[in-house]
Structure formats: structure tokens, C-alpha cells
């Protein structure tokens, strides 16, 4: 789990230090929300020359291992993802040799919703395999910042993401 936290912290720092990214341009709408487990998520919809793109920042979920009953929080942070939105829908699927992640949904100018899931192949106590998974978890989000042109030459949005000792993720968006 520490690997995810370190990568998340580095990702957020890089995101905040890279000037001129589409996430900070005036052509983005931010969405913040939670999933059915009460875990937070944040993304933007960026208007690009090739159409709208889903630009995820982070999502967290709680997975459970069936053989051991062990729950754990899994977090994903993203930099540079631009998933096409077609007819108001997007689908992000990441498959690896040991895990699967999916996040999809429907987006409108004011809200968004859909399912997300995570599966991890893991050993149980007898060296057998178990599927540590979240199952399909529904999520919903509200638009925070409507797309607009910056009014000042140095106008920017700042997204602050923190993780409390109890594992909860908090974020604020300020102008």
C-alpha cells in the first residue's frame, strides 16, 4: 500500500508543478465526488481540439480479500491521461499481469456517474490464489468549476489533496 501513497504524492506534486497543463487551462470543468463506499474521487473534463477528454486525477476504493477477509484501501492517481468522451460516455480500463482497474461513466455539464472496480490476484494463507476485489462500485460527482476563460493573465486553479492518518482523502479547489 505504501507504494500507492508514494506514487500518489509524487503525482500530485508533479501535477501542481507542471505549468500550462490542460487541467489548469480555462477549458476544463472539474468534478468531485464519492463512490458508494464513501471514498473520494476527482477528475476534469478538458475541451481539446479533438473533442472532450476525461482527465482523471485520483480515485480510491476499498477492496476485500475473500479467503483472508482482509480489507485494504487502494488509491490511483493519474497524470497525462486523456480518455475520449463520446456521446457523453468514457471508459478507462487498465489491465496488468496481477490486477485490473476500470472506471467508466456518463458525464453531463453539471454531474457525472458510473461504475468503477479493482481486482488483485493475491495469495491466501495456504499459498492458494484469491481475487481481492472491490466488486462493481457506483460513483457520482458534481461539477465544481464550469469551463470559462481566465479573467486575469495569471489566473489559475489550485487543487490541494491531503490524506489523513485514518486514510480518508480530502481535497479543496480554489481560484
> What are the pLDDT digits (tens) for 162-172?
777 887 777 77
What global pTM score does this model have? Answer: 0.68
The mean pLDDT of 47-66, rounded to a whole number, is 96
pLDDT at 59 over 70: yes
* Domain span holding position 159: 2-174
Question: Could you give the number of structural domains in the chain?
Answer: 1
* C-alpha cell at position 152: 486575469
Query: Quick one: pLDDT at residue 29?
Result: 93
Q: For 39-63, what is the mean pLDDT?
A: 96
Contact criterion met (CB below 8 Å) for 169 and 161: yes
pLDDT at position 70, please?
Answer: 82
Question: What is the DSSP-derived secondary structure letter of residue 16?
Answer: H
Amino acid at each position: 500500500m505504501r507504494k500507492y501513497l508514494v506514487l500518489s504524492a509524487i503525482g500530485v506534486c508533479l501535477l501542481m508543478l507542471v505549468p500550462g497543463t490542460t487541467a489548469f487551462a480555462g477549458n476544463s470543468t472539474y468534478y468531485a465526488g464519492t463512490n458508494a463506499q464513501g471514498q473520494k474521487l476527482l477528475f476534469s473534463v478538458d475541451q481539446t481540439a479533438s473533442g472532450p477528454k476525461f482527465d482523471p486525477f485520483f480515485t480510491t476504493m476499498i477492496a476485500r480479500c475473500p479467503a483472508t477477509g482482509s480489507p485494504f484501501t487502494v488509491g490511483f492517481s493519474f497524470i497525462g491521461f486523456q480518455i475520449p468522451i463520446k456521446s457523453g460516455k468514457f471508459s478507462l480500463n487498465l489491465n496488468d499481469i496481477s490486477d485490473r482497474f476500470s472506471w467508466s461513466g456518463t458525464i453531463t455539464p453539471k454531474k457525472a456517474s458510473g461504475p468503477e472496480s479493482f481486482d488483485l490476484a493475491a495469495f491466501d494463507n495456504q499459498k492458494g490464489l484469491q481475487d481481492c476485489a472491490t466488486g462493481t462500485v457506483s460513483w457520482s460527482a458534481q461539477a465544481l468549476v464550469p469551463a470559462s476563460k481566465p479573467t486575469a493573465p495569471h489566473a489559475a486553479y489550485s487543487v490541494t489533496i491531503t490524506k489523513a492518518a485514518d486514510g480518508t482523502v480530502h481535497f479543496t479547489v480554489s481560484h
